[in-house]
Amino acid sequence: MNGTDTSAETDFGFRRIPEAEKGPRVRALFDSVAFRYDLMNDLMSGGIHRLWKAEMVAALKPRPGQRLIDVAGGTGDVALRALPALAPEQSGGGAVVCDVSERMLAQGRARAIDRGFLAGLAWLAADAEHLPFADRSFDLYTIAFGLRNVTRLAAALAEARRVLKPGGRFLALEFAPAISPPLQPLYDLYSFGVVPLMGRIVTGEGEAYRYLVESIRRFPRQGALAEMIAAAGLERVKFRNLTGGVAALHSAWRL
């Protein structure tokens, strides 16, 4: 199937929509919440997302001179954590933050400048399924809470492998669609009741956060995602759950 098949459909939360519509809708959604996106992450997770991202970068083990591509990188949380270890001023290493939302990138760029991150950091509006880089361009590939938002997951994973160098590391941090059964009712109540209400109060965009919750429920479970990563040609795939399975960190290599 090619990208021009107008009959193809995909999930957008609990709805089915034409594939061609998902990218623009996702971009518009993140544009609409960009100015309060980081605040909402803190409020929704009680700050735990910061621990998850710190754990992701610790597992990544970035080294001086390496090049990182952070896909669906938004305001740059992961890239900014990794950048000091890449030592751009001393070694020529660096990071590229890619995201479909230019408003998210603008927020991240401003925050990076405020914090003094200037060297070795680039911001690029780009789609995870069509990265504008040559084969084998990066040592490290990260995507945090972005795989749910791509239109064709297999295509995005294939792009991840394509842009990684042999020996390159892949890490994906993503919410899991289900947690332990005793906690599931409370988790559902919080997800469908509290999160959209909080989103409406903080950003004025309750529907954006209803989509977020629904997209989590539609996403493959951890084992199924691991199989898709392996099918894309990445190897030594494994995952571990974080915070009781609310999120999971998947890792793989291009060998």
Residue 31 included in any domain:
yes
Residue 40 included in any domain:
yes
Report the number of distinct structural domains present in the chain: 1
Q: Above 90 in pLDDT, residue 181?
A: no
The pLDDT confidence band at residue 6, using thresholds 50, 70 and 90, is low
Residue 193 included in any domain:
no
Supply the pLDDT for residue 2.
47
Residue 247 included in any domain:
yes
Q: Above 50 in pLDDT, residue 10?
A: yes
Residue 195 included in any domain:
no
Supply the pLDDT for residue 180.
79
Contact (CB, 8 A) for 163 and 69: yes
The pLDDT confidence band at residue 249, using thresholds 50, 70 and 90, is very high
Supply the pLDDT for residue 118.
87
Supply the pLDDT for residue 125.
97
Q: Above 60 in pLDDT, residue 245?
A: yes
Cα–Cα nearest to 255, from 232, 224, 226:
232
Write out pLDDT tens, residues 68-121. Answer: 999 999 999 999 999 999 999 999 999 999 999 999 999 999 999 999 998 999
Supply the pLDDT for residue 4.
47
Residue 93 included in any domain:
yes
Residue 63: other Cβ atoms inside 10 A: 13
Residue 95 included in any domain:
yes
- The DSSP code sequence of 179-235 is --GGGHHHHHHIIIIIHHHHHHHHHS-HHHHHHHHHHHHHSPPHHHHHHHHHHTT-E
Structural domain containing residue 90:
23-180+208-254
Residue 1 included in any domain:
no
Q: What angle do CA 63, 67, 68 make, to 5 degrees?
A: 95
| Residue entry with tokens 């980081």 | 38
Tell me, what CATH number does 219's domain have?
Answer: 3.40.50.150
